[in-house]
Chain A
Amino acid sequence: QSALTQPASVSGSPGQSITISCTGTSSDVGSHGLVSWYQQHPGKAPKLMIYEASKRPSGVSRRFSGSKSGNTASLTISGLQAEDEADYYCCSYAGTTTVLKWVFGGGTRLTVL
């Protein structure tokens, strides 16, 4: 059982928007703004899409956005495209100032209809 809870699957049609939620606790998502999101296509390494809950790395499409409220973080993909079909994982820092630790969500399979 994963530390963070994500829906197992979401789907949407091209051009639509979808949101993937990621629920944790006050020890991880709720206490840190250090939530990141990763996209993973089959057989490939994960790719960083969002860091620090809402920041987008250079080169990542503006169609991807992130937010956080309380113990829940969210990833929104607008203007869905076929290439967005992939698995998405959230991750939160869950450590302290002296002990490093991270927890992942179980992953969400995005299907573009």
Chain B
Amino acid sequence: DEQLLESGGGLVQPGGSLRLSCEASGFTFSRYAMTWVRQAPGKGLEWVSSTVDLGDRTFHANSVKGRFTISRDNSKSTLYLQMNSLRVEDTAVYYCAKEVSSSWSVWGQGTTVTVSS
């Protein structure tokens, strides 16, 4: 059974940093591109960042470019999102997802990030 398990969320002050992790199981992690998608409270889904299977190419939404960095460790089947210079508007549930055919077939349960003073 393919599964993704996020961790690392929490409460942080504006300007602070957090690193999210997403541990994969049940599939060959190194063969798939992976993505982070977020959802602010009561709002819709927003694509945040993606990385290809080898991790040598990464892409970020304009809203997080220069502040967030996606990375992966294929030896640990784990995806990361380093979030720096956090803003109140980054408050959201962050989901990691496995990409297949430019869509996301497996999602984690999400981890909540709250940016507040």
Given contacts A45-B110, A95-B59, A99-B59, contact A104 B46 (CB under 8 A): yes
- B interface bracket (residues with beta carbon within 8 Å of A): 20 to 34
A103 to B46, CA, bound (A): 7
Write the A38-73 contact mask toward B (1 if CB under 8 angstroms, else 0).
Answer: 101000011110011001010000000000000000
Chain A CB within 10 Å, residue with most, of B45, B100, B104: B45
A101 to B33, CA, bound (A): 13
A45 to B47, CA, bound (A): 14
Residue pairs across A and B with Cβ atoms less than 8 A apart, 11 shown, are A34-B102, A38-B45, A45-B110, A46-B104, A48-B104, A52-B101, A52-B102, A91-B47, A101-B59, A104-B44, A104-B47
Q: Is there contact, CB below 8 Å, between A107 and B45?
A: yes
A89 to B46, CA, bound (A): 10
Residues of A within 8 A of B91 (CB): none
Write the B41-79 contact mask toward A (1 if CB under 8 angstroms, else 0).
Answer: 000111100101000010101000000000000000000
Residues of A within 8 A of B57 (CB): 100
Chain A residues proximal to chain B, CB less than 8 Å: 2, 32, 34, 36, 38, 40, 45-48, 51-52, 55, 57, 89, 91, 93, 95, 99-107
Tell whether B80 is near chain A: CB-to-CB under 8 Å: no
Chain B CB within 10 Å, residue with most, of A34, A40, A48: A48
Q: Is there contact, CB below 8 Å, between B105 and A91?
A: no
Q: How many A-B residue pairs have CB under 8 A?
A: 64
Q: Which residue of A51, A55, A89 is within 8 Å of B44 (Cβ)?
A: A89
Nearest B residue to A51 by beta-carbon distance?
B103
Given contacts A46-B95, A104-B47, 12 further A-B contacts (CB under 8 A): A32-B102, A46-B37, A47-B107, A51-B102, A52-B102, A89-B44, A91-B45, A100-B33, A101-B59, A102-B102, A104-B45, A105-B44
Q: Which residue of A32, A45, A106 is within 8 Å of B107 (Cβ)?
A: A45
Q: Is there contact, CB below 8 Å, between B44 and A46?
A: no
Distance (whole angstroms) from the CB of A91 to the closest CB of chain B: 7
Distance (whole angstroms) from the CB of B82 to the closest CB of chain A: 18
Q: Which residue of B44, B104, B105 is within 8 Å of A106 (Cβ)?
A: B44
Tell whether B30 is near chain A: CB-to-CB under 8 Å: no
